[in-house]
Structure 1
Amino acid sequence: MDNPHLVHTILLAQSLLLFTCLFLHSNCETITRDDEKAVLLSLERSWGGSVTVNWSSVIYEDQCNWPGINCTDGFVTGISLTGHGLNNLPAAICSLTKLSHIDLSRNSISGSFPTALYNCSNLRYLDLSYNTLVNSLPSNIDRLSPRLVYLNLASNSLSGNIPSSIGQLKVLTNLYLDANQFNGSYPAEIGNISALRVLRLGDNPFLSGPIYPQFGNLTNLEYLSMSKMNIIGKIPAAMSKANNVMFFDLSGNHLSGSIPSWIWSLKRLVTLQLYANHLSGQINAPIESTNLVEIDVSSNNLSGQIPEDIGQLEELERLFLSNNHFTGSIPDSVALLPKLTNVQLFQNSFEGILPQELGKHSLLFNLETHYNNFSGTLPEGLCSKGALAYISMSANMFSAGLTEVQIQEVNLSGRLPSNWASNLVEIDLSNNKFSGRLPNTIRWLKSLGVLDLSENRFSGPIIPEIEFMNLTFLNLSDNQFSGQIPLLLQNEKFKQSFLSNLGLCSSNHFADYPVCNERHLKNRLLIIFLALGLTSVLLIWLFGLLRIKVLPRRQNENTTTPRWKLTAFHNINFNYQDIICGLADNNLIGSGGSGKVYKICLHNNSYRFVAAKKIVSDRSRSNMLEKHFQAEVEILGSIRHANVVRLLSSMSSTESKVLIYEYMENGSLYQWLHQKDMRNNNEPLSWPRRMSIAIDAARGLCYMHHDCSPPIAHCDVKPSNILLDYEFKAKIADLGLARALAKAGEPESISTMVGSFGYMAPEFGSSRKINEKVDVYSFGVVLLELTTGRFANGGGGYENLAQ
């Protein structure tokens, strides 16, 4: 370095290099932020305009203020675009080098798992649930960020095995892989993820196998869901080390052996679901899980008596012991539980009397004790809290000890029964939806003193025998009774008993009721006699026709029971006999113009309950119409979407057809919006939950309109056709009016009116043209109901909510 020129040159070069580095560094942040904005705009272009948030319109604003974008220290660290109809996940998303949070759930992202996410080196949170991902997870899924703590791939269509490499994601705390189509195996290596707090693998058709004892290493686990996974064998003792678990669900499997005693000593346990397995033995261990809110061990082979310890669980709300072999009586302490709302004890061998305090100390909502050996009288305070909405006690040995029936404001419908307990002293069925005529058998209730049938839909005349009963209180107001008020009841004592029955009249200017027109009555009698005469002639003619044409044909037919054909659209392990046995009146949960719906309990089955809709066939249908019906059922059976109620199978015979759907535990959106029993006995729908329901329903309709081939128009979108599962996930139901459109965008003409008043698009009434827009209008009315809580057709006359 003796040459001064060389030294000067070197120093100049170093200075230039240092200046260049400093210059580049000073502009590095600006370039990176501009790059981030460019990446976000490229993502928007990749999604093809499906993003409902238009980033391009705010291009000159700081991207940290864009919808769905979260920043830390000025850099993009989070993207949350749930429910925006996105159809892919561009690889460019990982160009956002600071990105740690991705939530693209409830979209339409398809294809295999996007391995481009391996390049998101800072990723901590990834939610791709409720999309349409398919195929197997990659074997090198452990190449995801080593910082990943949350991974949610639930409710897709992933299949094959869960790779063992997933156990290398050591810091995972939440892993959701449930509700997919995994049909291989799940790895024992999941037990190596010691940080896991939430593990959900349920609702997948895995190969049969036991629970790995390695899962006992998950000592931080709080939520475990492994339902409907084809698990066999016993519950391993090693899992007792997971003593922080709060939610424990192994339902719908093939587990055997007894319920381990350590389960009942889990101090933090809140929910225990072991239903629909092959568990046996008794519950004889001390129950120390004092935080339990739900116990569901139904549909097993359990026996013995109910331990007294259950009566010490003061947080218990739901007790499900049905479909077992339990014996003995129900401990009296159970009736004293302050939060007990739902008790299902049916189909066991219980005996003795029901605890006499039952119903007095909690808002008991549901009680099912049918098919046991209970005896004695019913608890006097069973309905004292006014919350009881459903009760089933058939097939027992109760004595005639019931003296009062008080079932008000629970929206019960149908006709009154003809048989009543003879020693009833009070009947209060006010504010329901009972219809039809009063049964004549009421006159035999000699001890009856109080009869309140107000605010129902009873019609026809008031039976004259009622005036000879020893009633001290009578209220038949707000019904549709007609004819003359019984003479002995036309006095001051019963002046208020018949209000708001526009068809009633009096014989002696009683109160403000019109005087019955004797001549008008004679004319009506004449009309009735003429109608009876014509009816008799018609019946004689029909009887003759029957003898000539029908009876000879029947003599040549076999008299065997109808032959049923079962068509399955999903993996099921029940047969037609399981369904036919459940089509009984005590399982009836609804009826309409197209048939009756039954809630059927399936023993030891992956589906604990199913909903079966029975449709009576019309023998006058042509073969072409029958084929058309079958074709439409097959279309509906091919639907695979998380927000459309699954049609599990169909059954058909010469006399009727049965559609078997998945059962939705939380009923319909209509019930939660408009029925008093749901609103009074449950927390109201929160605004976030209403938003989630709206998004779920929109996704189901979007799938039917855009992803089905051919597209499907529902034609009757309304709250009663939006059902809610146990997690309040909404699903589109009752596609009985649905039309498969021949070509997308081309309306189909129909000759009959479909849909429901208040939800039909105005132009449909005149054009009778069906396309997807019919559903869009109806869904708009549903959104109005969700936000206002008003009825769609509550305006009276021809007005509706949309108008």
Structure 2
Amino acid sequence: MNYLFSITFLVYFLSLSFPSNSERCNPQDKKVLLKIKQDLNNPYHLASWNPDTDCCDWYVVDCDPKTNRINALTVFQANISGQIPAAVGDLPYLENLVFRHITNITGQIPSAIGKLSRLTLVRISYTNITGPVPSFFSKLKALTYLDLSFNQLSGSIPPSLSLLPNLQALHLDRNRLTGMIPESFGAFAGSSPPDLYLSHNQLTGSVPKSLGNMNFTRIDLSRNQLQGDISFLFGKTKALENADFSRNLFEFDITKLEFPESLIALDWNHNKLQGNVPVALTTLGNLQQFNVSYNRLCGQIPVGGNLQSFTYAEYFHNRCLCGAPLPAC
């Protein structure tokens, strides 16, 4: 018994005399994170960022279990003021970068982010950042998800974003973007085009016909000042599931359009569409949302499919449209 006690005491004594360094966090990453905290004026949201503790255990950051390098910085709904620190660009193993629902974040997106070649997800949204959409994002070839929505970004959309080979979703909606949709968006570098969200901006001109070469699954161009014919975005062989073109100036005859069986939602309200509601819509068993109100359509609404399941509100304010759910012709 005395022998076991002696061994236990010796181990305890040695542990005090020679403390083990069990901290996982890379020292350089820790230094950068503390600089980020300082640049953000030491907010309470980052109170766990204590230099005496392991930064892999800090709030809103993650460490890669293999390399112990910081690979995610996710700041969400924080009471933080200031600009996104340029020091973020000194976390070379960062894969996920999020600043979201932080209305007191201002300034421009720092160019230092362009150094982060491992980034797969960037979500800077619901802030008050200003300035242009940076073209440097096109150099981050690992990006699969780019969300810059609900900000105050202005200027034109960089055509080079189409060069991203792995992009699956592009959110530029709810900003103040101007100019035309880039012609290059008809030639995305990946095997399939990203889900494209450009709504609630000030985009003008015609949609480039090159976009007809892409097999979009989800596309939202609503609430802009776009005009002309977009019939080339439709067809039986397309993969389209959700499409919103509402509140623009589109003007073309939709009578003979055809649609993929995959179509779930189609919104055309508040445009200048002409002709009749397409008979081809009666064959779509998956159509759950449909709106052609406030256009210039005429004739009887075709009977069949889900077209009669929609309400009066989805069809009203057309030139001479009639038939259920509108009054009889």
| TM-score normalised over the length of structure 2 | 0.76
CA RMSD after TM alignment: 3.9
Identify if the C-alpha distance between structure 1 residues 224 and 230 changes in structure 2 by more than 3 Å, giving closer, same or farther: same
Name the CA distance, whole Å, in 2 between partners of 1:187 and 1:142: 19
Q: Please point out which of 212, 230, 234 is paired with 1:311.
A: 212
1:286 matched to 2:286? The reply is no
Provide the secondary structure at the position in 2 that maps to 1:248: strand
Which runs of structure 2 are paired with 1:296-375 in the superposition (5 Å)?
A: 296-314=197-215, 316-336=216-236, 338-354=238-254, 356-359=256-259, 361-375=260-274
> What corresponds to 1:766 in structure 2?
none
**Matches of 1:328 and 1:268 in 2, distance apart?**
31
Structure with higher helix content: 1
Counterparts of 1:214-229 in structure 2 under 5 Å? 214-229=112-127
Distance change >3 Å, CA 414–CA 333, structure 1 → 2: closer
Shift of the alpha carbon at 1:366? 1.7
Counterpart secondary structure, 1:326:
strand
**Matched residues in 1 for 2:162 and 2:150: separation?**
20
Partner of 2:142: 244
Among 20, 23, 45, the residue aligned to 1:121:
23
Matched, 1:137 2:39: no
Letter in 2 for 1:322: S
Question: Which AA in structure 2 matches 1:23?
Answer: I
Amino acid paired to 1:121:
E
Q: CA deviation at 1:321?
A: 0.4
For 2:104 and 2:235, the matched residues in 1 are separated by 41
Q: Answer yes or no: is 1:395 the counterpart of 2:294.
A: yes
**Are residues 417 and 394 of structure 1, via their aligned partners in 2, closer, same or farther at CA, if it must alter by over 3 Å?**
closer
- Contact 2:139/2:164 (<8 A) preserved: no
- Give the alignment of 1:430-445 within 5 angstroms: 442=328, 445=329
1:208 aligns with 2:106: yes
SS in 1 for 2:83: coil
Per-residue deviation, 1:123: 6.6
Distance 1:409 1:419, change over 3 A: closer
Change (3 A) 1:177 1:24: same
How far residue 414 of structure 1 moved from its aligned partner, in angstroms, is: 8.7
Q: Which amino acid aligns with 1:375?
A: Q
Give the secondary structure class of the aligned counterpart of 1:233.
Answer: coil
- Aligned pairs, how many? 297
In structure 2, do the counterparts of structure 1 residues 189 and 203 end up closer, same or farther at CA, with 3 Å as the change threshold? same
Task: Report the equivalent of 1:197.
Answer: 95
Q: 1:200 and 1:364, CA in 2 relative to 1: closer, same or farther beyond 3 A?
A: same
Deviation at 1:202, TM superposition (A): 1.3
List alignment gaps of at least 5 residues for structure 1.
1-18, 33-96, 99-118, 125-133, 155-168, 430-438, 446-803
Contact conserved, 2:147 with 2:172, CA < 8 A, in 1? yes
Q: Counterpart of 1:332 in structure 2: which amino acid?
A: F
Q: Of 161, 179, 190, which residue of structure 2 is paired with 1:263?
A: 161
Map 1:607-626 onto structure 2 (within 5 A).
none
CA change 1:413–1:145 in 2 (3 A) is same
Q: One-letter code of the match for 1:233?
A: G
In structure 1, distance between residues paired with 2:313 and 2:295: 23
One-letter amino acid of the structure 2 residue matched with residue 304 of structure 1: G
Seen in structure 2, the aligned counterparts of structure 1 residues 262 and 349 have a Cα distance that, compared at 3 Å, is: same
Question: 1:303, 1:324 within 8 Å by CA — same for their partners in 2?
Answer: yes
Report percent identity of matched pairs: 22
- Quick one: structure 1 residues 417 and 374, their matched pair in 2 at CA, closer, same or farther if it must change by over 3 Å? closer
Q: Secondary structure at the match of 2:183?
A: coil
Structure 1 stretch displaced more, 413-422 or 276-285? 413-422
- Where 1:304 maps in the other structure, the secondary structure is strand
Q: Deviations over 1:651-690 (max 9, x none)?
A: xxxxxxxxxxxxxxxxxxxxxxxxxxxxxxxxxxxxxxxx
Deviation at 1:386, TM superposition (A): 1.7
Distance in 2, matches of 1:419 and 1:244, equals 46
Larger Rg: 1
Structure 2 unpaired stretches of 5+: 27-42
Change (3 A) 1:190 1:373: same
Query: CA shift at 1:178, angstroms?
Result: 1.6
SS in 2 for 1:381: helix
Q: Are the structure 2 counterparts of residues 135 and 417 from structure 1 closer, same or farther at C-alpha, using a change threshold of 3 Å?
A: closer
| Shift in alpha-carbon separation, 1:417–1:176, aligned structure 2, 3 A | closer
Structure 1's 376 and 415: CA in aligned 2 closer, same or farther, altered over 3 A? closer
Q: Is the 8 A contact 1:403 1:423 kept in 2?
A: no
Cα distance change of structure 1 residues 318 and 337 upon mapping to structure 2, 3 Å threshold: farther
The match for 2:7 is 23
State the distance in 2 between where 1:273 and 1:419 align: 31
Alignment check: 8 A CA contact 2:255 2:276 kept: no
Q: 1:265 to 1:140 in 2, by over 3 A?
A: same
Q: Secondary structure at the match of 2:299?
A: coil
Q: 2:130 aligns with which of 219, 223, 232?
A: 232
Name the CA shift for 1:418/1:198 in 2 (closer, same or farther; >3 Å). Answer: closer
Tell me what 2:36 maps to. Answer: none
CA distance in 1 between counterparts of 2:266 and 2:68 reads 46
CA distance in 1, matches of 2:313, 2:249: 31
